[in-house]
Structure 1
Amino acid sequence: MAAMLDEPWTLSPSVRLRPEPFGALAYHFGNRKLMFLKRPELVAVVRGLAEQPHIRCALACAGVPERQFSSYVAALRGLAAADVILRRDEEVTA
């Protein structure tokens, strides 16, 4: 977990987030996957990734308590596996 916390990530340029009362819908225009982000705090983390040096800062800036970091990292791993978020050094340039 610690390694991912200290890595730079960003929302994929192929993904759009649509706000919803429960959090947001994430739609990937490339692979056509639709994912539900079921917590507004997770949406805030994902939106803030590009502006922060690493995930740890994005979590802190979104107000996530440190004791909950591991559950958010697990959610972010799922988003990474679906190409919703990308390491900044892996970004696809269009």
Structure 2
Amino acid sequence: MSAPTSNPAPGDRSAVAGGADAPDAPVFDTLDAWELNPKVALRPEPFGALLYHFGTRKLSFLKNLTVVDIVQSLRDVDSAEAAMLAAGITPAQRPLYLQALGALAESGMIIRRTV
């Protein structure tokens, strides 16, 4: 998984995934409901997980088991914020997870969930 070029502030509730030069990139807002894109397969691995997007044929590696848990739990919670809280993400860890989730949103691996 590639990291976005911007680094969100520790208290930032939303991060632009891709920066100002990517106007069509989704804005990752932790208060929105998210889910794994239906076109994406997640295969757990000992190191984390592989994500394969059948639409873009992009392969991503998640090398953090907590990120894998958060991505898998997105469907069952009201928001990405709730998923991070349930995973026990501390304020000090928050920027790392915002960056990872923002990159997944930018690449289309996770999408906003519609009701």
Paired letter, 2:56: N
User: What SS class does the counterpart of residue 36 from structure 1 fall into?
Assistant: strand
1:83 CA displacement: 0.5
TM-superposition CA deviations, 1:19-50 (whole Å, max 9, x none): 11110000011110000111000000000011
2:60 maps to which residue?
A: 35
Determine the structure 2 residue equivalent to 1:56. 81
1:24 is matched with which residue?
A: 49
Higher helix share: 1
Alpha-carbon RMSD across the aligned residues, in angstroms, is: 1.5
Distance between the aligned counterparts of 2:110 and 2:61, measured in 1?
14
Per-residue CA distance 1:41-94 (angstroms, 9 max, x = gap): 0000000011111111101112222321221011111111111000113x9xxx
Select which of 2, 26, 37 maps to 2:13: 2
Q: How many Å separate the matches in 1 of 2:87 and 2:104? A: 17
**TM score, norm. by length of structure 2:** 0.73
Give 1 or 2 for the bigger CA radius of gyration: 2
Deviating above 3 A after TM superposition, structure 1's stretches of 4 or more consecutive aligned residues are none
SS state of the match for residue 92, structure 2?
A: helix
Structure 2 runs not aligned, ≥5 long: 1-11, 15-28
Counterpart CA distance in 2 for 1:9 and 1:24 is 18
Distance 1:66 1:54 in 2: 17
CA distance in 2, matches of 1:64, 1:18: 23
Distance (Å, rounded) in 1 between the aligned partners of 2:93 and 2:30: 12
Name the counterpart of 1:71: 96
